[in-house]
Amino acid sequence: MKTFTFTKMHGLGNNYIYINLFEEKLEEKYLSELAIKVSNVNTGIGSDGMILICPSSVAPVKMRIFNNDGSEGKNCGNGLRCVAKYAYEHKLVKDKQFKIETLSGIVEAEVHVEEGIVTNVTVNMGKPRLARNEIPMTGEEADQVVAEEFIVQAESLSVTGVSMGNPHAVFFVDNIEMAPVTTLGPVIEKDVRFPEGINVEFVEIVSRNELHFRVWERGSGVTQACGTGACAAVVAAVLNGRTDRNKKTTVHLAGGDLFITWTDNGDVLMTGPAEIICEGMFYY
Ligand SMILES: N[C@H](CCC[C@H](N)C(=O)O)C(=O)O
């Protein structure tokens, strides 16, 4: 029987099992299967997935994220805030600002500390990728996919595509409570127009700097929050002329609020909490 120690953390209820690979050793070929195992609420620990905190040759730490279906994602906003908290509190870094490597590039995190404890984290998520082939999405080559007709199950929707290193399809609705998250979410996630699958976001505009947000995540289904999705939602809202560039926008997710700014220099800044739930030993 093999074991490893883990820390369960969440960002606005988007919870993952974090494993510190500076201390633990896991076999690459079992990672996908292990993500499914630890995520199972009946026979595992229960989570939206698994996140590995790894050594890196280009940053103090590297984050790898696996959804609860075992698929590996390329970025995770809530995960980055929790990795930043863990790295600072476990002295993997000494400064309050540091880089984190992800599969979609290097981001810059800044931890906000009260009496030695990280309470909030700001991550510069970098620039969104907007070209159709960067989302990626099939169809005529285009620099942006903004308010494009998207017919699914005989419903005519309007989609805006944004990649934050991972793919997002954003749909604006009049009433977030009525959004078809669990009906159309899983259908759109696997639609052939998205060759790598897609995270599906539904957004209700409250004002020029406030949104309501719900998500069906690729590989995990409904989650309480999606950090990269919230970033994609703010970018999509600006592209559709619904919110203002370079203004801090409050995104109300099921698990709480994130504060996102798409700055004039193109970077997307995300600020929000990161919390430890528990630590333990996993047997497998
Ligand atoms: N399901 C996502 C990864 C997790 C992203 C989300 N939990 C976040 O906080 O950004 C994907 O497959 O691209």
245-267 pLDDT tens trace: 999 999 999 999 999 999 999 99
Q: Residues 86, 205: one domain?
A: no
Rg of the chain over all Cα atoms, to the nearest angstrom: 18
CA–CA dist 278, 68 (Å, integer):
19
Å from CA of 146 to ligand 1 middle: 21
Residue from 48, 66, 67 whose mutation best tests the ligand 1 pocket (most atoms within 8 A of CB) = 67
Q: Residues 59, 167: one domain?
A: no
C-alpha torsion angle, residues 162, 150, 152, 161 (rounded to 10): 0
Active site residue 226: yes
Is ligand 1 within 6 A of the CB of residue 126? no
Is ligand 1 within 6 A of the CB of residue 227? yes
Q: Which residue among 54, 82, 226, 231 is the active-site one?
A: 226
Is ligand 1 within 6 A of the CB of residue 218? yes
Q: Is the peptide bond before 136 cis (omega within 30 degrees of 0)?
A: yes
Q: Residues 68, 148: one domain?
A: no
Q: Residues 18, 68: one domain?
A: yes
Q: Residues 87, 153: one domain?
A: no
Separation of first and last alpha carbons in the chain:
6
CA–CA dist 272, 120 (Å, integer):
5
Q: Residues 192, 247: one domain?
A: yes
Q: Residues 25, 141: one domain?
A: no
Count: domains in the chain:
2
Give the per-residue pLDDT at 66.
Answer: 99
Of all protein residues, whose CA lies closest to atom 11 belonging to ligand 1? Answer: 73
CA–CA dist 47, 104 (Å, integer):
23
Query: How is residue 129 annotated by DSSP?
Result: B
CA–CA dist 44, 52 (Å, integer):
17
Question: pLDDT tens across 137-153, in order?
Answer: 999 999 999 999 999 99
Please state the ipTM of this predicted complex: 0.98
- CATH no. for residue 43? 3.10.310.10
Q: Residues 68, 186: one domain?
A: no
Å from CA of 83 to ligand 1 middle: 14
Active site residue 231: no
Which structural domain range is residue 186 located in? 132-266
Å from CA of 100 to ligand 1 middle: 16
Question: pLDDT tens across 102-127, in order?
Answer: 999 999 999 999 999 999 999 999 99
Q: Residues 120, 143: one domain?
A: no
Q: Residues 40, 160: one domain?
A: no
Residue from 78, 80, 194, 228 whose mutation best tests the ligand 1 pocket (most atoms within 8 A of CB) = 228
Q: Which conformational region is residue 97 in: left (phi greater than 0), alpha (psi within -120 to 50 degrees), or beta?
A: beta
Q: Residues 177, 155: one domain?
A: yes
CA–CA dist 99, 230 (Å, integer):
21
The mean per-residue pLDDT over the stretch 9-27 comes to 98
Q: Residues 156, 262: one domain?
A: yes
